[in-house]
Structure 1
Amino acid sequence: MNDVLILDEPRPGICRLTLNRPARHNALSHELVAALLVAFEMVDEDDRFRVVVLRGAGRSFCAGADLGEHFDAAETRPDIGRSGLWERIEQLRVPVIAAVQGWAVTGGFLLAYSCDLIVAAESARFRDTHAALGLLPTGGESQRLPRLVGLTLARELMFTSRPLLADEALRTGLVSRVVPDTDLDDAALSLAEAICQTSPRSVRTLKRLINDGARSDFAAGLRLEAELNGNGAANDLPDAEREERLQRFRETGRV
């Protein structure tokens, strides 16, 4: 990639992306957003990758849009909120795990909860600062956050701009686990490895079903499930990987 985004493959099947602007708390510059979009496109085209881990270098996950870049620009530049980054993560074929330490602020908060799962360090602090700065959201935060944490908490977080600490984020279901800061990388990779052990075809379809279903009503979600499973017939179609998994289950009694 380039200096602002580091890509590596720490374990088979896992693509790890590291936001690498620690001096700016990994604020989202236009260069960084462009690099992320390129990286996600590459992941979608490479069947080797089964899951993505997204993390930030230094003390924070991401401080949101680089407002310094915005205000210093000689001419108006595209709004980070309308960059399509959040939708690209949601539409990615494979799951994305955010490994969050320190601050995840506004656009950085949105970046984290656009991912499929969040593993939080004890130091994690999530905050939406639109109201505190007199701004309005442009990345869909007003619609996404209430669907994740409920209307009441979303209103409080957005109206007051108060931080959401890691333990409260765990209680609300926003994050899947909280670990000591020193264990964050290992915890995220362990979760990624668990996903890699399951069927990639099933996981890809489940991600689509969950994400698309969350944006529609219950009946529409059921119709989509029936469509994608062929009204149950998909489980009976020949599939070498599934047969291998089922045979192993028959022999060992374990999944």
Structure 2
Amino acid sequence: MQPVVELREIEPGIALITMQDRVYKNTFSDDLVKGLAHAFLTVKETERYKAVILTGYDTYFASGGTQEALLAIFEGQLKFTDSNIYSLALECPVPVISAMQGHAIGGGFVIGLFADFVVMSRESVYTANFMKYGFTPGMGATYILPRKLGLSLGNEMLLSGSNYRGADLEKRGVPFTVLPRDQVMSHALELARQLAEKPRLSLVALKDHLVETARAELPNYIAKEVAMHELTFHQTEVRDKILSLFGK
């Protein structure tokens, strides 16, 4: 059986992390969360790696929290901070490329945006759909969406919870490469090859400098998101929406 998260060195210095939970469509199951944490730890501890490509399978990149996890947060049994996967790419010492060849939903969209490079597909759906269920965003979404997409579009996606195709976002001027799905991985690999030509020490030093502000500011946003969850997540309406709308 294929592992839910697979780490391979596809070329010298280039690590490919593939999320491939076909049963749960790359929602944040326990196996996916643990697999991602282990893969990024391995990258951190392996000094020959100079770049990481993070991708999904077929038409899915990552699908965010499971219905069970969302209901557990509603019941007060869980917080999204109990397992920090949202900032794995940000904290990774070497540059990370999100090859978002497939749909990226909720927290799945957020973890992709924390990468240093983002490549989207025109056909796929991208959404920060937290408010679709009536609860405020988490996982650093309120920080990273306005920062990466611009204040107007980022806030629009957060407040509306609507779906956007990659082609729609391309028209809105997102500062990322948007390609047909079958070209996303090849473009990500070309980026990774450019990075792998550089000394690892230089890549690590420059990334540390470039993301220093984000690493410092994010914890404050996370604390505010947790506080908003305490205020908004425990409404009966939220539970009903999680039960009736999940996966639609």
Residue 136 of structure 2 is aligned to residue 133 of structure 1: no
Q: Is the 8 A contact 1:22 1:59 kept in 2?
A: no
Deviations 1:109-160 (A, max 9, x none): 1111011111112223210111110112231211221122222212211111
Residue 121 of structure 2 is aligned to residue 121 of structure 1: yes
Q: Which residue of 1 aligns with 2:47?
A: 47
Q: Which residue of 1 aligns with 2:195?
A: 195
State the Cα distance separating 1:25 from its structure 2 match: 2.1
Deviations 1:147-206 (A, max 9, x none): 222222122111111223324544667553122222222111111111111232222111
Q: Is the 8 A contact 1:113 1:174 kept in 2?
A: no
Percent of aligned positions that are identical: 28
Q: Which runs of structure 2 are paired with 1:1-255 in the superposition (5 Å)?
A: 3-68=3-68, 71=71, 78-170=78-170, 174=174, 176-214=176-214
State the Cα distance separating 1:212 from its structure 2 match: 1.1
The alpha-carbon distance between structure 1 residues 213 and 80, as it changes in their structure 2 partners (threshold 3 A), is closer
Query: 1 CA distance for matches of 2:89 and 2:8?
Result: 18
State the Cα distance separating 1:77 from its structure 2 match: 5.7
* Amino acid across the alignment from 2:36: L
Structure with max Cα Rg: 1
* Amino acid across the alignment from 1:47: E
Question: Any stretches of 5+ residues in structure 2 without a counterpart?
Answer: 218-248
Deviations 1:88-119 (A, max 9, x none): 32111101111112310111011110111111
Question: Any stretches of 5+ residues in structure 1 without a counterpart?
Answer: 218-255
Deviates more, 1:177-186 or 1:106-115: 177-186
Q: Which residue of 2 aligns with 1:229?
A: none
* Amino acid across the alignment from 2:199: S
The alpha-carbon distance between structure 1 residues 81 and 89, as it changes in their structure 2 partners (threshold 3 A), is same
State the Cα distance separating 1:33 from its structure 2 match: 0.8
Query: 2 CA distance for matches of 1:129 and 1:93?
Result: 29
SS of the aligned residue for 1:147 comes to helix
* Amino acid across the alignment from 1:152: S
Deviations 1:10-59 (A, max 9, x none): 11111111111124221111221111111111111111111111111121
SS of the aligned residue for 1:31 comes to helix
Query: 2 CA distance for matches of 1:196 and 1:173?
Result: 29
Query: 2 CA distance for matches of 1:70 and 1:215?
Result: 26
State the Cα distance separating 1:82 from its structure 2 match: 4.4
Q: Is the 8 A contact 2:120 2:166 kept in 1?
A: yes
Query: 1 CA distance for matches of 2:110 and 2:40?
Result: 17
Deviates more, 1:133-142 or 1:50-59: 133-142
Q: Which has the higher contact order (CA 8 A, sep 6+)?
A: 2
Aligned length: 216
Query: 1 CA distance for matches of 2:216 and 2:142?
Result: 17
Query: 2 CA distance for matches of 1:12 and 1:211?
Result: 25
Q: Is the 8 A contact 2:145 2:155 kept in 1?
A: no
* Amino acid across the alignment from 2:123: S
Query: 2 CA distance for matches of 1:77 and 1:89?
Result: 27
The alpha-carbon distance between structure 1 residues 21 and 77, as it changes in their structure 2 partners (threshold 3 A), is farther
Deviations 1:207-235 (A, max 9, x none): 11111135679xxxxxxxxxxxxxxxxxx
